[in-house]
Amino acid sequence: MSPEAMNAVMTWAPAILMVALLYFLLLRPQKKEQKRRTAMLDSLKKGDRIVTIGGLYGTLTEIQERIVKLKIADHVEIEMARSSIHANITQEEQAKKV
> Contact at 8 Å (CB) between 40 and 32?
no
What pLDDT does 77 receive?
A: 97
pTM of the model: 0.73
What pLDDT does 94 receive?
A: 85
Residues 9-61: pLDDT tens digits?
888 889 999 999 999 899 999 999 999 999 999 999 999 999 999 999 999 99
Fold classified for 46-98: SH3 type barrels. (2.30.30)
**Extents of the domains making up the chain:** 1-42, 46-98
What pLDDT does 3 receive?
A: 83
What pLDDT does 96 receive?
A: 84
